[in-house]
C-alpha cells in the first residue's frame, strides 16, 4: 500500500514534485493522493513551493520537503573526544560543538555532559526538546544495535549492557539509535561520496582500529553487531604483544595509534596519543614516518584478506592516524596489491576519508533521518497524530 510516507519519499528524492506526478508514479486516485498530501501538509513535512513551468493553463503547484520540520541530535563519541551536532531533516548542520570527553568516566557522567551540550545547542538556534525528531549516538565499542546497548566494550568501563535509548527517553520523546562509531563513519562517507559503490570498507585507525562494512549499500553489522572488528585479527610474528582485549598479536596492539605512540615514546620521542604521532610525522621525524608506514603494511596484511573475501569496490581510511595518509596508504596499498587477487584489485580504490573527523556525526544524522522518515515511520507518526 502506498501511504503518505511513500509520497514523502518521492517528493524528498525529487522523483515526483506535483500532484499529477504523484498520481502517475503511484497509480493512486487523485482524491487519494490529495488526502495523503493533506496529512503531510498538516504535519508540516511538505509545503507548497509555488508553480512550475506549464504547457498551458494554470501552472501546477510544486511540492517540496520541509527540512525544517524538526531537528535531529547526534553525538559522535570517541575514546577521549566528542563531536555533537544539531542538524535539520536534510542533514544540514544547524549548530555544532566539539570537546574533550573521556568515555571511561561511565555512561551517566558522559551522557549528562552530552545532554547539557545538546540543550545549549538547541537554545542557540531557538529550538527545544519538542522539536527533536530523533537522537543518534556513535560509541567506540561493539553495540547491540536493536537495543542500543554497548556489549563488553574494551575501552568503555561501566557501559556494558547500559541502555542509551532508555537514558535519553527521560529527555526526548523521539527514537534513539546507537551504533559503533566506525559504522556511522562508514555510513557518512558512503552516503556523501560513494553511493554508486555497492560494497565498501571504511577503516578507522586512531587509538584503536575498526572497520565499517557497507554491503549492498547498507551497513552490515553481522549476527550480533560485531562485524568489522578487524583490530583484533591476529598478526603472525607478534606473539610478544599483548592486546588490551587479553589476546596476543592483535592488529590494534601492533598498529593502532596507542601502540604507535607507546613505541615512539619508548624510543625517546614524546608521543602520548595518535594525534602526537601524526604531529611527529608532519614534523618530518624519520622514526614516526617509518612507524606509520609499517602500521600501513600491517593493516594491509589484514585488509588483503578482507579484499579477497569481500571484494569491495573501495576502501576508505579514516581516523587520527589517517591524517598521515601518504605514509599510511603507501604501506596499505603495497601489501594489498601484492597479496590480493588481481580480479579483486582491478578496480579497487584505496583512499583517505574525505569527511575526516566529521564522518561520524554526518553518518549518525543520516542514520536517524532515514529511520524517522522511512515511509512506515511517517505513516505511523501521522496515524498517531490523527488518533491524538
Model confidence pLDDT, tens digit, residues 218-229: 999 998 888 999
Task: Report CA dihedral (229, 180, 321, 324) to the nearest 10 degrees.
Answer: 110
Give me the mean pLDDT over the 114-137 stretch.
Answer: 97
**In the prediction, which pLDDT does 370 show?**
96
Give me the mean pLDDT over the 106-124 stretch.
Answer: 97
Contact 94, 64 (CB under 8 A): no
Contact 322, 284 (CB under 8 A): no
Asked if the model's pLDDT at residue 80 lies above 90, the reply is no
Provide the grid cell at 250: 592483535
**In the prediction, which pLDDT does 58 show?**
57
Listing DSSP states for 199-259 in one string gives SEEEEEESSSEEEEEEETTEE---SSS-TT-GGGSBPTT-TTPBPTTS-BSBHHHHHSHHH
Asked if the model's pLDDT at residue 376 lies above 60, the reply is yes
**In the prediction, which pLDDT does 378 show?**
95
- The cell 598521515 sits on which residue? 324
- What is the distance between the alpha carbons of residues 316 and 319, in angstroms, rounded to a whole number? 10
**Percentage of the chain lying above the pLDDT 70 cut:** 96
Q: What are the residues whose beta carbons fall under 8 Å from the beta carbon of 5, sequence distance 6 or more?
A: 373, 374, 375, 376, 377, 378, 379, 382
For 279-305, write each residue's pLDDT tens digit: 999 999 999 999 999 999 999 999 999
For 174-201, write each residue's pLDDT tens digit: 999 999 999 999 999 999 999 999 999 9
CA distances from 34 to 7, 15, 61, 103 (A): 11, 17, 13, 50
Give me the mean pLDDT over the 134-146 stretch.
Answer: 94
Q: What is the mean pLDDT of the chain?
A: 92
For 322-365, write each residue's pLDDT tens digit: 888 888 999 999 999 999 989 999 999 999 999 999 999 999 99
**In the prediction, which pLDDT does 59 show?**
65
Asked if the model's pLDDT at residue 53 lies above 70, the reply is no
**In the prediction, which pLDDT does 129 show?**
96
**In the prediction, which pLDDT does 380 show?**
93
- What is the distance between the alpha carbons of residues 178 and 136, in angstroms, rounded to a whole number? 6
CA nearest neighbour of 172 among 75, 76, 65: 75
Give me the mean pLDDT over the 363-378 stretch.
Answer: 96
Confidence class for position 206, pLDDT limits 50, 70, 90: confident
Confidence class for position 384, pLDDT limits 50, 70, 90: confident
**In the prediction, which pLDDT does 121 show?**
98
Provide the grid cell at 220: 552490515
Q: What is the pTM of this model?
A: 0.90
Amino acid at each position: 500500500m502506498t501511504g503518505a510516507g511513500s509520497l514523502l519519499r518521492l517528493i524528498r528524492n525529487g522523483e515526483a514534485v506535483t500532484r499529477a506526478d504523484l498520481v502517475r508514479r503511484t497509480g493512486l486516485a487523485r482524491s487519494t493522493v490529495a488526502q495523503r498530501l493533506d496529512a503531510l501538509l498538516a504535519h508540516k513535512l511538505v509545503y507548497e513551493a509555488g508553480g512550475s513551468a506549464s504547457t498551458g493553463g494554470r501552472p501546477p503547484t510544486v511540492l517540496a520537503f520541509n527540512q525544517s520540520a524538526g531537528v535531529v541530535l547526534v553525538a559522535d563519541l570517541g575514546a577521549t573526544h566528542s563531536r555533537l551536532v544539531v542538524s535539520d531533516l536534510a542533514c544540514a548542520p544547524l549548530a555544532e560543538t566539539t570537546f574533550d570527553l573521556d568515555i571511561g568516566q561511565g555512561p551517566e557522567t558522559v551522557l549528562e555532559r552530552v545532554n547539557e551540550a545538546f540543550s545549549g545547542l538547541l537554545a542557540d538556534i531557538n529550538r527545544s526538546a519538542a522539536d527533536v525528531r530523533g537522537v543518534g549516538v556513535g560509541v567506540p565499542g561493539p553495540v547491540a544495535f536493536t537495543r542500543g546497548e554497548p556489549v563488553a566494550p574494551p575501552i568503555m568501563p561501566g557501559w556494558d549492557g547500559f541502555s542509551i535509548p532508555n537514558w535519553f527517553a527521560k529527555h526526548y520523546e523521539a527514537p534513539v539509535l546507537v551504533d559503533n562509531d566506525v559504522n556511522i563513519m562508514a555510513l557518512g562517507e558512503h552516503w556523501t561520496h560513494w553511493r554508486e559503490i555497492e560494497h565498501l570498507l571504511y577503516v578507522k585507525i586512531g587509538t584503536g582500529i575498526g572497520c565499517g562494512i557497507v554491503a549492498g549499500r547498507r551497513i552490515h553489522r553481522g549476527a550480533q553487531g560485531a562485524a568489522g572488528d578487524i583490530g583484533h585479527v591476529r598478526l603472525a610474528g607478534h606473539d610478544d604483544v599483548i592486546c588490551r582485549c587479553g589476546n596476543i598479536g592483535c592488529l590494534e596492539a601492533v598498529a593502532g595509534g596507542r601502540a604507535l605512540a607507546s613505541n615512539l615514546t619508548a624510543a625517546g620521542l614524546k608521543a602520548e596519543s595518535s594525534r602526537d604521532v601524526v604531529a611527529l610525522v608532519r614534523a618530518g621525524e624519520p622514526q614516526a614516518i617509518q612507524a606509520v608506514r609499517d602500521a600501513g603494511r600491517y593493516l594491509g596484511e589484514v585488509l588483503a584478506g578482507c579484499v579477497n573475501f569481500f571484494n569491495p569496490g573501495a576502501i576508505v581510511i579514516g581516523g587520527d592516524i589517517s591524517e598521515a595518509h601518504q605514509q599510511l596508504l603507501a604501506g596499505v596499498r603495497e601489501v594489498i596489491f601484492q597479496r590480493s587477487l588481481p580480479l579483486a584489485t582491478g578496480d579497487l580504490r584505496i583512499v583517505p576519508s574525505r569527511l575526516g573527523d566529521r564522518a561520524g556525526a554526518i553518518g549518525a544524522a543520516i542514520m536517524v533521518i532515514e529511520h524517522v522518515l522511512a515511509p512506515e515511520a511517517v505513516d505511523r507518526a501521522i496515524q498517531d497524530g490523527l488518533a491524538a
